[in-house]
Amino acid sequence: MVSQRRNLPLLATPETCSGRTYIVTGANSGIGLEAARHLASLGAGKVILGVRNLVAGEAAKRDIDESAGTAGTDVIQVWQVDLCSYDSVRAFVKRAADELDRIDAVIENAGLTLSVREMAEGHVKPLTVNVLSTFLMAVLLLPVMREKAKKVEGVVPRIVVVGSTYGFEATCKADWEGIKEDPIKGMDDEGMAPLKTYALTKLMEAFAIRHLARELVPVEKTGVIVNLICPGLCITNLVRSTPQDFKDMMHQMYAAVGRTAEDGSRTLLHGAVAGPESHGKLLHSCEDGEPDVPDWVKDDTTMQKRTWEAIANELETAEPGCVARMLDCA
C-alpha cells in the first residue's frame, strides 16, 4: 500500500441518523468503537455494541457516553455476542428481534487474525469469525430487519460487512488458487499457514457478497441493502495476536500511511447510509470502491456463486432453513 487518503468525509449526518437504531459488532475498540461514538453523537436513538467481552464493552459505553453526551440514557447498550459460537450469534439475533422496534443498519465489524491454529465450530477461528458467523448473523437478521422496516415509513435498512482489499493482493490470489474448489476445507487444512487465513477470509467475503446481492434484488422488494466496505489500513489492535516481526512490519506501515481508527470509522458510517447503488458493491475511502475490485473477482460469477454456496451449506447445517427464510421475499 503506497498511499491512502486520510481525513475522510463524514457522510453520516444528524438527518440520516437521528432517532435510528444501529448494531455495531466488534464495538469495544478500534474502528467499531469510533463508528459507534459517531452514531451516538449524530443523535442515534439506540446503538447496540455487540461485544465478546462485556467488561470491555461497558468501558466502551462509558467512554462513548462521556464524549457523546449520552450518559444517563439508554442510547448506548452493551450486548454480548461471541462470533466463535453459532449459539451466541443465534441468541444475539433473537434478542434483537425481541427487543428492538427497528434496525436501521448492522455494521458487521468484528474480525480476527491469528498466527496460530485455533478452532471454533469445527473450523479455524478466522474463518468462523470473519466469514461463517458474520454471514450467519446477516442471514438471520435480514428477514427481521425487513419485517421491522415495513412498520417505519421510508426506511431501507443496511447490512454492512467490513472487508478489505488486502484479499485482492497477488499473494492471496495465489493462495486462493490452491483452495478455490473447496475454500472452507482448504482454509481448515492443517497445512494452511494461519497468517494467510485473514486475507483469504476477506476474499471470500468479496466473492460471497457479490453473489448474495444478486439473490436479493430488487432492493425495493427484498427490503435491505447489503454492501461491503474496506476501511483501509487503520491503526488498531487487529494484529495483537501475531508474531513480533509481523507487528513490527505493520507498525512501520501504520506510521507511513495508517489512518486513525476515527478516520477509518467514517467508511463504516458511509456503508450505513449509502443508497441502493451500493448494493453488492465495495465502498472504499467513503466513495465507490468498485475500481479497486480486480476483474478476476468482479467478473467471475461462477466463483462468486461457488463461494456463497460453500458458506450457505455451512449456515444450513448450523441453522436449517435460514437461507430460504432470508430469500423468501427475493
- Catalytic residue IDs: 198, 202
CA distance 10 to 289: 16
CA distance 113 to 68: 31
CA distance 264 to 322: 32
Neighbours of 319 (CB within 10 A): 17
Cα angle value 126/130/136 (rounded, 5°): 125
**Alpha-carbon distance values, 3 to 166, 254, 255, 256, 285 (Å):** 14, 11, 11, 8, 12
Relative to beta strand 287-288, strand 282-284 is antiparallel
Amino acid at 99: E
* SS3 assignment for 243-268: CHHHHHHHHHHHHHHCECHHHHHHHH
Cell numbers at 304, concatenated: 462468486
CA distance 239 to 74: 32
Name the helix (H) or strand (E) containing 123: strand 123-124
For cell 435498512, name the residue.
157
Helix, strand, coil percentages for the chain (3-state, nearest 5): 55, 15, 35
CA distance 290 to 278: 10
Cell numbers at 294, concatenated: 480486480
